[in-house]
Amino acid sequence: MCGIVSIFRISRQRPELRQKALSMSQKIRHRGPDWSGIYCGGSAILAHERLSIVDPESGGQPLFSPDRRQVLAVNGEIYNHQDIRRRYAGRFDFQTRSDCEVILALYRDFAEGNITLESLLESLSGIFAFALYDEARDQFLIARDPIGVIPLYIGYDSDGTVYVASELKALEGQCEHYEPFPPGHYLTDTGARVTPNPSPLISNSSPLIPNSTPSPLTPNPSPLTPNPILPFRAYYHRDWFDYAAVKDNPASAADIRSALTAAVKRQLMSDVPYGVLLSGGLDSSVVAAIAERFSEHRIEDSSQTRAYWPRLHSFAVGLKGAPDLEKARLVAQHIGTVHHEINFRLQEGLDAIRDVIYFIETYDVTTVRASTPMYLLARVIKSMGIKMVLSGEGADEIFGGYLYFHKAPNAQAFHEETVRKLSKLYLYDCLRANKSLCAWGVEGRVPFLDKEFLDVAMRTNPEAKMCAGRAIEKKILREAFADLLPEEVAWRQKEQFSDGVGYSWIDTLKAVTAAAVTDEQLAHAAERFPINPPKNKEEYFYRSIFAEHFPSDSAARSVPSEASVACSTAIALEWDAAFLGINDPSGRAVKGVHEQAY
């Protein structure tokens, strides 16, 4: 991964503004420790902190068009860049072998009137957040990948200045307001002044953004500026957003296997050593098993002859005796990876909490619980020379793998909940996976959220995904890959990561935070934290640390807050009367389903 910082609509370039951009960029240098770059010109500044994965020698950023009239800063990976390069062979003079440079070729095609911005962005298969400045037109383009695998925040000042950064810590204290940039959207400047979205977690332009409708985004004018506004625009549209489009579809385990295999193969694109995160659960085990099959295969593109990194290393983390570690060891032996088992002690986890909250930028209880072991693991991975890892995030949202899905009343409710869960991933699991790893300069890739795979999996008939009663969750995914895994893993019950690293981890967090926060403090939580008041002592504890790092209202509003059981959305709490009054993200909260329920 990398880190980007950009400032647009600058009235006059000044040395102190350049220094401000450098200071903002320095705060996210952990994301890209390999090189730094900056561009100042026209009405824009673009800064970049690089983690070199593809083309380490010549892919430094910002990237420039051949005539240097367009400049680009990107955090991400474009998996189909070779196909796009071939499309523009002879039409665009590529300056590097960077996968991200193809965005400049596509933009040039747009500038010449050949394609739309929507088709430009739809052409990209990958994970990305980028800021592009067209010096010739004095315009900018900002965009984020469909699901929000890559983090991005946007900020504003009342004078119309626009700020962009990979993490909110770069914007905290630097602008008057900031918010998460919505996934699957873009923002482009046509001379109109830009104002904030009235609710940082709500957009009205795509069903994948929470609480939205498919109508264009038309926020109310902000008090910061009375001028005309420039809205976010959705470019990611899919038929499977609507249950009616999938309810009569077939369901094929073979199609799911073929599509996910292709996704993993695409995402092995790397010029540096890579590995896999292997928790011992179904999802990471499937990804690891597929990756191992390709780890010694040569690149098919005839322009390159080097082999991908020949030995696949797998990594697991947990307390000694954790349920995940035993299963991860079993999978590694079965598929043949070079396996590394990292143990952490409870006190080491507790000691890391403050740093974890700083790096992941949230006070959400589930996210903090799961991020801490991942943060500790990422440091070990980086120390071993691994710069990229594949992970299993996204499968539970796509296939209804969380245990509360057993309570879904019908296929329509099940499918609509999977769409809701995908729409929120950028606030939870994508945020955790990206920022926990990037804290130590490690890139995470998520094949289950591959754009092409999503279209296959989300168009699968929801009836085939349902798991009523005690039926096993994600059955169709298990059937697709059971032959690659040990039987006890292929058919293992869903265990959420923060549980699987050792039940005593969550139990200890509850006990420590309960002792640290008084009843009186919790009773007055809404007075101290009027935005998203903490609902329990553990959340109050994390919120207090978060507020020390990020005291602004913008920071507080950037974090979601809703009641949940076993990672459900608030709407899904209506599925079971037993869920009412419970607010516990652990899978063990689902009575009658989890084998070791409370």
CATH of domain 3-237: 3.60.20.10
Collapsed DSSP state (helix, strand, coil) of residue 11: coil
pLDDT in tens, 547-594: 999 999 999 999 998 888 778 888 988 898 888 777 666 555 556 665
pLDDT of residue 592: 60
**Pairwise CA distance, residues 231 & 97, whole Å:** 34
**Pairwise CA distance, residues 351 & 369, whole Å:** 13
pLDDT of residue 567: 85
Q: Cβ distance 183 to 144 under 8 Å? A: yes
Q: Cβ distance 217 to 596 under 8 Å? A: no
**Pairwise CA distance, residues 569 & 424, whole Å:** 9
pLDDT in tens, 389-441: 999 999 999 999 998 999 999 999 999 999 999 999 999 999 999 999 999 99
Domain boundaries 252-494, CATH class: alpha beta
Q: Is 567 a catalytic residue?
A: no
pLDDT of residue 502: 62
Name, in order, each residue with C-beta under 8 angstroms of 223's C-beta and a sequence gap of 6 or more: none
Q: Cβ distance 269 to 78 under 8 Å? A: no
**Pairwise CA distance, residues 559 & 335, whole Å:** 39
Averaged pLDDT in 10-residue chunks for the chain of 598 residues:
94 96 98 96 97 85 96 97 96 95 98 96 98 97 98 95 97 97 92 47 50 34 39 96 98 98 96 93 96 68 47 92 91 95 95 98 95 97 95 96 93 97 96 98 98 98 92 96 96 68 85 98 98 96 98 97 84 85 61 57
Domain limits, the chain: 3-237, 252-494
> Angle CA(499)–CA(391)–CA(350) in degrees, nearest 5?
40
pLDDT of residue 594: 54
pTM of the model: 0.92
Nearest to 28 by CA among 126, 153, 144: 153
Catalytic annotation, pick one of 2, 100, 430, 467: 2
Determine how many CB atoms are found less than 10 A away from the CB of residue 242. Answer: 14
The arrangement of strands across the sheet holding 139-144 comes to 63-64, 70-78, 126-134, 139-144, 185-188, 233-234
pLDDT of residue 469: 81
pLDDT of residue 306: 41
Structure tokens at 43: 């009405």
